[in-house]
Protein backbone atom coordinates (compact mmCIF):
# COMPACT_ATOMS: atom_id res chain seq x y z
CA UNK A 1 0.00 0.00 0.00
CA UNK A 2 1.36 3.47 -0.83
CA UNK A 3 2.17 6.02 1.89
CA UNK A 4 -0.76 8.16 0.74
CA UNK A 5 -3.21 5.25 0.81
CA UNK A 6 -1.96 4.19 4.24
CA UNK A 7 -2.46 7.70 5.56
CA UNK A 8 -6.00 7.85 4.19
CA UNK A 9 -6.77 4.48 5.77
CA UNK A 10 -5.49 5.69 9.14
CA UNK A 11 -7.47 8.91 8.80
CA UNK A 12 -10.71 7.07 8.12
CA UNK A 13 -10.08 4.75 11.07
CA UNK A 14 -9.90 7.83 13.26
CA UNK A 15 -13.06 9.21 11.71
CA UNK A 16 -14.99 6.17 12.90
CA UNK A 17 -14.24 7.06 16.51
CA UNK A 18 -14.67 10.83 16.47
CA UNK A 19 -17.50 13.28 16.04
CA UNK A 20 -17.20 16.94 15.08
CA UNK A 21 -14.04 18.80 15.97
CA UNK A 22 -15.75 21.92 17.21
CA UNK A 23 -17.35 20.41 20.31
CA UNK A 24 -18.00 17.06 22.04
CA UNK A 25 -21.15 15.24 20.93
CA UNK A 26 -24.34 15.73 22.88
CA UNK A 27 -24.35 12.33 24.59
CA UNK A 28 -20.91 12.75 26.06
CA UNK A 29 -21.54 16.38 26.94
CA UNK A 30 -24.65 15.34 28.86
CA UNK A 31 -22.59 12.91 30.93
CA UNK A 32 -20.41 15.83 31.94
CA UNK A 33 -23.32 17.81 33.37
CA UNK A 34 -22.45 16.77 36.93
CA UNK A 35 -18.69 16.91 36.50
CA UNK A 36 -18.04 20.36 37.90
CA UNK A 37 -16.38 18.83 40.97
CA UNK A 38 -14.87 15.84 39.20
CA UNK A 39 -11.15 15.25 39.53
CA UNK A 40 -9.29 14.89 36.24
CA UNK A 41 -8.59 11.27 35.33
CA UNK A 42 -4.82 10.68 35.28
CA UNK A 43 -3.98 6.98 35.13
CA UNK A 44 -0.20 7.25 34.85
CA UNK A 45 0.33 7.83 38.57
CA UNK A 46 -1.47 9.16 41.61
CA UNK A 47 -1.47 12.92 41.69
CA UNK A 48 -0.82 14.44 45.14
CA UNK A 49 -4.06 15.24 46.93
CA UNK A 50 -2.75 18.47 48.41
CA UNK A 51 -3.61 21.76 46.70
CA UNK A 52 -1.35 22.76 43.83
CA UNK A 53 1.38 24.97 45.25
CA UNK A 54 5.13 25.18 44.91
CA UNK A 55 5.79 22.48 47.52
CA UNK A 56 3.42 20.06 45.76
CA UNK A 57 5.10 20.75 42.40
CA UNK A 58 8.53 20.25 43.94
CA UNK A 59 7.47 16.96 45.55
CA UNK A 60 6.04 15.70 42.28
CA UNK A 61 9.23 16.64 40.44
CA UNK A 62 11.31 14.71 43.00
CA UNK A 63 8.93 11.73 42.78
CA UNK A 64 9.14 11.53 39.01
CA UNK A 65 12.91 12.06 39.09
CA UNK A 66 13.28 9.17 41.55
CA UNK A 67 11.27 6.98 39.18
CA UNK A 68 13.63 7.95 36.34
CA UNK A 69 10.71 9.22 34.36
CA UNK A 70 12.74 11.46 32.10
CA UNK A 71 11.40 9.59 29.13
CA UNK A 72 13.45 7.22 27.01
CA UNK A 73 11.97 9.27 24.18
CA UNK A 74 13.16 12.59 25.62
CA UNK A 75 15.78 12.91 22.92
CA UNK A 76 12.97 12.77 20.38
CA UNK A 77 11.00 15.64 21.86
CA UNK A 78 10.61 18.84 19.88
CA UNK A 79 9.06 22.20 20.67
CA UNK A 80 7.04 24.66 18.59
CA UNK A 81 6.92 28.23 19.88
CA UNK A 82 4.51 30.59 18.14
CA UNK A 83 6.30 33.92 17.94
CA UNK A 84 4.68 35.60 14.95
CA UNK A 85 1.86 37.65 16.34
CA UNK A 86 1.44 41.19 17.62
CA UNK A 87 -2.31 41.36 18.20
CA UNK A 88 -4.91 44.13 17.95
CA UNK A 89 -4.87 44.92 21.68
CA UNK A 90 -1.09 45.13 21.70
CA UNK A 91 -0.89 47.54 18.77
CA UNK A 92 -3.66 49.68 20.21
CA UNK A 93 -1.82 50.02 23.53
CA UNK A 94 1.42 50.94 21.73
CA UNK A 95 -0.37 53.69 19.85
CA UNK A 96 -1.82 55.09 23.08
CA UNK A 97 1.61 54.93 24.73
CA UNK A 98 3.03 57.03 21.92
CA UNK A 99 0.47 59.72 22.71
CA UNK A 100 1.21 59.73 26.45
CA UNK A 101 4.22 57.54 27.39
CA UNK A 102 4.12 58.52 31.05
CA UNK A 103 0.63 57.10 31.51
CA UNK A 104 1.63 53.53 30.59
CA UNK A 105 3.91 50.92 32.16
CA UNK A 106 7.17 50.88 30.18
CA UNK A 107 5.60 53.66 28.13
CA UNK A 108 8.92 55.23 27.13
CA UNK A 109 10.11 51.92 25.69
CA UNK A 110 6.74 51.29 24.06
CA UNK A 111 6.79 54.68 22.37
CA UNK A 112 9.76 53.65 20.25
CA UNK A 113 8.87 49.97 19.78
CA UNK A 114 8.02 49.18 16.11
CA UNK A 115 4.31 48.60 15.55
CA UNK A 116 5.00 45.81 13.07
CA UNK A 117 7.47 43.95 15.29
CA UNK A 118 6.43 40.69 16.96
CA UNK A 119 5.10 41.34 20.45
CA UNK A 120 7.60 38.75 21.71
CA UNK A 121 10.49 41.13 21.04
CA UNK A 122 9.29 43.71 23.56
CA UNK A 123 12.00 44.16 26.25
CA UNK A 124 11.10 43.23 29.83
CA UNK A 125 13.16 42.71 33.01
CA UNK A 126 15.50 39.71 32.77
CA UNK A 127 14.93 37.32 35.66
CA UNK A 128 16.45 34.43 33.73
CA UNK A 129 19.99 35.66 34.31
CA UNK A 130 19.51 37.47 37.62
CA UNK A 131 17.16 37.34 40.59
CA UNK A 132 16.62 41.10 40.56
CA UNK A 133 15.79 41.45 36.88
CA UNK A 134 18.26 44.26 36.41
CA UNK A 135 18.91 43.62 32.73
CA UNK A 136 16.42 43.49 29.86
CA UNK A 137 15.45 40.62 27.59
CA UNK A 138 12.78 40.07 24.94
CA UNK A 139 9.56 38.76 26.46
CA UNK A 140 9.61 35.73 24.11
CA UNK A 141 12.77 34.55 25.86
CA UNK A 142 10.59 33.30 28.72
CA UNK A 143 8.64 31.00 26.40
CA UNK A 144 11.83 29.72 24.77
CA UNK A 145 13.49 29.30 28.18
CA UNK A 146 10.59 27.08 29.24
CA UNK A 147 11.42 24.57 26.50
CA UNK A 148 15.20 25.11 26.37
CA UNK A 149 15.95 21.61 27.77
CA UNK A 150 14.37 20.13 24.64
CA UNK A 151 16.92 19.53 21.90
CA UNK A 152 15.07 20.67 18.78
CA UNK A 153 12.92 23.78 18.33
CA UNK A 154 10.65 25.30 15.70
CA UNK A 155 9.91 29.01 15.91
CA UNK A 156 6.86 30.06 13.91
CA UNK A 157 7.55 33.59 12.74
CA UNK A 158 6.62 36.23 10.17
CA UNK A 159 9.99 37.77 9.51
CA UNK A 160 12.29 39.40 12.10
CA UNK A 161 14.52 36.31 12.29
CA UNK A 162 17.70 38.34 12.75
CA UNK A 163 16.20 40.29 15.65
CA UNK A 164 14.88 37.11 17.23
CA UNK A 165 18.32 35.56 17.05
CA UNK A 166 19.93 38.63 18.61
CA UNK A 167 17.33 39.36 21.30
CA UNK A 168 15.97 35.91 22.20
CA UNK A 169 18.27 33.07 21.14
CA UNK A 170 21.69 34.60 21.74
CA UNK A 171 20.96 35.77 25.31
CA UNK A 172 19.78 32.21 26.08
CA UNK A 173 22.90 30.77 24.41
CA UNK A 174 20.71 28.61 22.17
CA UNK A 175 22.78 26.91 19.44
CA UNK A 176 21.35 28.01 16.10
CA UNK A 177 21.74 24.42 14.85
CA UNK A 178 18.89 23.46 17.18
CA UNK A 179 16.51 26.10 15.79
CA UNK A 180 14.33 25.98 12.69
CA UNK A 181 12.50 29.17 11.71
CA UNK A 182 9.20 28.58 9.94
CA UNK A 183 7.07 31.20 8.21
CA UNK A 184 3.36 30.35 8.10
CA UNK A 185 1.84 30.85 4.67
CA UNK A 186 -1.33 32.88 4.34
CA UNK A 187 -4.65 31.21 3.65
CA UNK A 188 -6.91 31.81 0.63
CA UNK A 189 -8.30 34.93 2.31
CA UNK A 190 -4.86 36.50 2.55
CA UNK A 191 -4.65 36.01 6.34
CA UNK A 192 -2.80 33.41 8.39
CA UNK A 193 -5.18 30.68 9.50
CA UNK A 194 -4.41 29.93 13.14
CA UNK A 195 -1.80 28.01 15.10
CA UNK A 196 -3.32 24.64 14.21
CA UNK A 197 -2.88 25.55 10.55
CA UNK A 198 0.73 26.59 11.27
CA UNK A 199 1.42 23.24 12.94
CA UNK A 200 -0.03 21.46 9.91
CA UNK A 201 2.12 23.49 7.52
CA UNK A 202 5.36 22.68 9.34
CA UNK A 203 4.49 19.02 9.89
CA UNK A 204 7.52 17.80 7.93
CA UNK A 205 9.73 19.38 10.60
CA UNK A 206 8.18 17.60 13.59
CA UNK A 207 6.45 14.43 12.38
CA UNK A 208 9.40 12.16 13.23
CA UNK A 209 9.55 13.34 16.85
CA UNK A 210 7.95 11.41 19.69
CA UNK A 211 6.58 14.39 21.59
CA UNK A 212 5.73 17.90 20.44
CA UNK A 213 5.55 20.65 23.07
CA UNK A 214 3.76 23.82 21.97
CA UNK A 215 3.74 27.23 23.63
CA UNK A 216 3.33 30.92 22.85
CA UNK A 217 5.62 33.91 23.10
CA UNK A 218 4.19 36.38 25.59
CA UNK A 219 3.06 33.79 28.15
CA UNK A 220 4.65 33.37 31.59
CA UNK A 221 5.57 29.75 30.88
CA UNK A 222 7.18 27.61 33.55
CA UNK A 223 10.08 25.27 32.66
CA UNK A 224 8.97 23.13 35.63
CA UNK A 225 5.49 22.68 34.17
CA UNK A 226 6.96 21.59 30.84
CA UNK A 227 9.26 19.13 32.60
CA UNK A 228 6.44 17.66 34.71
CA UNK A 229 4.22 17.19 31.65
CA UNK A 230 6.99 15.46 29.68
CA UNK A 231 7.73 13.13 32.59
CA UNK A 232 4.03 12.41 32.93
CA UNK A 233 3.89 11.39 29.27
CA UNK A 234 6.83 9.06 29.96
CA UNK A 235 4.75 7.47 32.72
CA UNK A 236 1.82 6.91 30.35
CA UNK A 237 4.20 5.39 27.80
CA UNK A 238 5.78 3.14 30.44
CA UNK A 239 2.33 1.78 31.33
CA UNK A 240 1.30 1.36 27.72
CA UNK A 241 -1.61 3.80 28.06
CA UNK A 242 -2.44 5.39 24.72
CA UNK A 243 -3.00 9.13 24.88
CA UNK A 244 -2.54 11.95 22.39
CA UNK A 245 -2.10 15.10 24.49
CA UNK A 246 -1.39 16.23 28.04
CA UNK A 247 -2.55 19.75 28.84
CA UNK A 248 -1.24 21.26 32.09
CA UNK A 249 -3.97 23.25 33.83
CA UNK A 250 -4.31 25.61 36.77
CA UNK A 251 -7.21 26.16 39.15
CA UNK A 252 -8.62 29.66 39.23
CA UNK A 253 -11.87 31.40 40.13
CA UNK A 254 -12.37 32.78 36.62
CA UNK A 255 -10.82 30.37 34.13
CA UNK A 256 -9.89 32.13 30.89
CA UNK A 257 -9.82 28.90 28.89
CA UNK A 258 -12.10 26.58 30.86
CA UNK A 259 -11.88 22.81 30.82
CA UNK A 260 -15.03 20.68 30.79
CA UNK A 261 -14.85 17.25 32.41
CA UNK A 262 -17.05 14.19 32.23
CA UNK A 263 -18.05 12.51 35.48
CA UNK A 264 -15.26 9.99 35.00
CA UNK A 265 -12.67 12.79 34.86
CA UNK A 266 -11.98 12.63 31.13
CA UNK A 267 -12.02 15.98 29.30
CA UNK A 268 -15.36 16.65 27.63
CA UNK A 269 -13.96 19.65 25.80
CA UNK A 270 -12.01 22.89 25.93
CA UNK A 271 -13.18 26.42 25.27
CA UNK A 272 -11.59 29.52 23.78
CA UNK A 273 -13.17 32.86 22.90
CA UNK A 274 -12.29 32.39 19.23
CA UNK A 275 -14.17 29.08 19.32
CA UNK A 276 -17.26 30.51 20.95
CA UNK A 277 -19.57 28.00 19.30
CA UNK A 278 -17.54 25.08 20.64
CA UNK A 279 -18.60 25.49 24.26
CA UNK A 280 -19.79 22.09 25.46
CA UNK A 281 -23.26 21.73 26.89
CA UNK A 282 -21.78 20.72 30.22
CA UNK A 283 -20.76 22.16 33.56
CA UNK A 284 -17.34 23.82 33.41
CA UNK A 285 -14.65 23.26 36.00
CA UNK A 286 -12.43 25.86 37.62
CA UNK A 287 -9.49 24.53 35.60
CA UNK A 288 -7.89 26.54 32.81
CA UNK A 289 -5.36 25.81 30.10
CA UNK A 290 -2.14 27.82 30.65
CA UNK A 291 -0.95 27.74 27.04
CA UNK A 292 1.35 24.70 27.14
CA UNK A 293 0.52 21.42 25.43
CA UNK A 294 2.47 18.19 25.08
CA UNK A 295 1.32 16.08 22.14
CA UNK A 296 2.42 12.71 20.97
CA UNK A 297 3.54 13.59 17.48
CA UNK A 298 1.76 10.74 15.71
CA UNK A 299 -1.60 11.70 17.21
CA UNK A 300 -1.06 15.38 16.51
CA UNK A 301 -0.39 14.46 12.89
CA UNK A 302 -3.45 12.24 12.59
CA UNK A 303 -5.74 14.80 14.20
CA UNK A 304 -4.56 17.62 11.95
CA UNK A 305 -4.96 15.50 8.84
CA UNK A 306 -8.46 14.50 9.87
CA UNK A 307 -9.41 18.10 10.52
CA UNK A 308 -8.10 19.04 7.10
CA UNK A 309 -9.97 16.20 5.42
CA UNK A 310 -13.24 17.19 7.07
CA UNK A 311 -13.16 20.95 7.20
CA UNK A 312 -10.71 22.41 4.69
CA UNK A 313 -11.84 23.52 1.22
CA UNK A 314 -9.00 23.60 -1.30
CA UNK A 315 -8.62 26.23 -3.99
CA UNK A 316 -8.92 30.01 -4.20
CA UNK A 317 -12.69 30.46 -4.41
CA UNK A 318 -14.92 32.27 -1.91
CA UNK A 319 -15.43 29.06 0.10
CA UNK A 320 -11.76 28.08 0.19
CA UNK A 321 -10.11 27.64 3.58
CA UNK A 322 -11.08 26.26 6.99
CA UNK A 323 -14.72 25.79 8.02
CA UNK A 324 -14.56 24.14 11.45
CA UNK A 325 -17.93 24.09 13.26
CA UNK A 326 -17.89 26.33 16.32
CA UNK A 327 -15.01 28.53 15.13
CA UNK A 328 -15.53 32.17 14.22
CA UNK A 329 -16.70 31.85 10.59
CA UNK A 330 -15.13 35.19 9.66
CA UNK A 331 -11.65 33.98 10.62
CA UNK A 332 -11.49 30.63 8.80
CA UNK A 333 -8.88 29.30 11.19
CA UNK A 334 -7.73 25.98 12.57
CA UNK A 335 -6.59 26.25 16.17
CA UNK A 336 -4.75 23.82 18.41
CA UNK A 337 -7.91 24.01 20.51
CA UNK A 338 -9.66 22.16 17.66
CA UNK A 339 -7.03 19.44 17.87
CA UNK A 340 -7.52 19.23 21.63
CA UNK A 341 -11.30 18.91 21.29
CA UNK A 342 -10.92 16.20 18.66
CA UNK A 343 -8.51 14.22 20.83
CA UNK A 344 -10.89 14.68 23.78
CA UNK A 345 -13.70 13.17 21.72
CA UNK A 346 -11.44 10.22 21.02
CA UNK A 347 -10.67 9.93 24.76
CA UNK A 348 -7.02 10.59 24.06
CA UNK A 349 -6.72 13.88 25.99
CA UNK A 350 -5.70 14.28 29.62
CA UNK A 351 -5.45 17.39 31.75
CA UNK A 352 -2.75 17.60 34.41
CA UNK A 353 -3.57 19.95 37.32
CA UNK A 354 -0.02 20.97 38.20
CA UNK A 355 0.15 24.58 37.01
CA UNK A 356 -0.18 27.75 39.06
CA UNK A 357 -2.49 30.64 38.06
CA UNK A 358 0.48 32.97 37.54
CA UNK A 359 1.43 30.94 34.46
CA UNK A 360 -1.66 32.36 32.75
CA UNK A 361 -0.49 35.96 32.87
CA UNK A 362 0.08 36.90 29.24
CA UNK A 363 1.36 40.27 28.09
CA UNK A 364 -1.14 41.19 25.36
CA UNK A 365 -1.36 44.91 26.10
CA UNK A 366 0.86 47.34 27.99
CA UNK A 367 -1.63 47.49 30.84
CA UNK A 368 -0.72 43.87 31.63
CA UNK A 369 3.01 44.65 31.86
CA UNK A 370 3.28 44.82 35.69
CA UNK A 371 1.40 41.53 36.19
CA UNK A 372 3.50 39.77 33.55
CA UNK A 373 6.75 41.00 35.10
CA UNK A 374 5.69 39.80 38.55
CA UNK A 375 4.60 36.42 37.13
CA UNK A 376 7.85 35.70 35.29
CA UNK A 377 9.83 36.80 38.35
CA UNK A 378 8.02 34.20 40.47
CA UNK A 379 8.24 31.52 37.77
CA UNK A 380 11.99 31.96 37.43
CA UNK A 381 12.51 32.06 41.21
CA UNK A 382 10.74 28.72 41.57
CA UNK A 383 12.75 27.15 38.74
CA UNK A 384 16.01 28.51 40.15
CA UNK A 385 15.23 26.95 43.54
CA UNK A 386 14.41 23.59 41.94
CA UNK A 387 17.72 23.53 40.13
CA UNK A 388 19.63 24.36 43.31
CA UNK A 389 18.25 21.31 45.15
**Reduced 3-state DSSP string for 352-364:** ECCCCHHHCCCCC
**The pLDDT value given to residue 69:** 54
pLDDT of residue 316: 85
Say if CB 281 and CB 389 are below 8 A apart: no
Q: Cβ contacts of residue 100 below 8 Å, gap of 6+?
A: 107
- Percent of the chain scored above 90 by pLDDT? 67
* CA torsion through residues 173, 300, 8, 192, sign: negative
pTM: 0.88
Q: Which residues contact 233 (CB under 8 A, 6 or more apart)?
A: 71, 211, 243, 246, 294, 296
pLDDT at 381: 97
Q: Are 148 and 221 in contact (CB under 8 A)?
A: no
Q: What is the pLDDT of residue 12?
A: 40
What is residue 26's predicted lDDT score, i.e. its pLDDT?
45
Residues in the chain predicted with pLDDT less than 50, given as ranges, are 1-35
What is the per-residue pLDDT for 24? Answer: 44
Question: Which pLDDT score is estimated for 6?
Answer: 37
Is the Cβ–Cβ distance between 266 and 244 less than 8 Å?
A: no
Contacts for 211 with CB less than 8 Å, ≥ 6 apart: 71, 73, 76, 77, 78, 230, 233, 294, 295, 296, 297
The span from the CA of 234 to the CA of 229, in Å, is: 9
**Helices 369-388 & 223-239 angle (0-180, nearest 10):** 60
The pairing of beta strand 136-138 with beta strand 123-125: antiparallel
Q: How far apart are CA 38 and CA 115, in angstroms?
A: 45
Tell me 98's DSSP state: H
**Which pLDDT value is given to residue 375?**
97
pLDDT at 100: 93
Q: What is the pLDDT of residue 75?
A: 64
H/E segment holding residue 247: strand 245-251
Amino acid sequence: MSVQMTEMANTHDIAKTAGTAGAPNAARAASAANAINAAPLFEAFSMPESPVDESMRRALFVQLTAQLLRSAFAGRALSITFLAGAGTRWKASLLKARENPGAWPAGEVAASFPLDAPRGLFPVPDFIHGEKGEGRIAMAAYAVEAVRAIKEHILVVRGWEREIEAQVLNPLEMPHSRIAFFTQKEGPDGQVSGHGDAALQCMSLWQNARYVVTNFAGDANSPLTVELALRAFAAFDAKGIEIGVIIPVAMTEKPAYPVFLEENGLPAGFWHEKLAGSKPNAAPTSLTNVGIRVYRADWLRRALLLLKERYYVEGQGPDAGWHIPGNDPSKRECALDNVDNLLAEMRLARVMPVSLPRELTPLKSLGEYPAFVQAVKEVQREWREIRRE
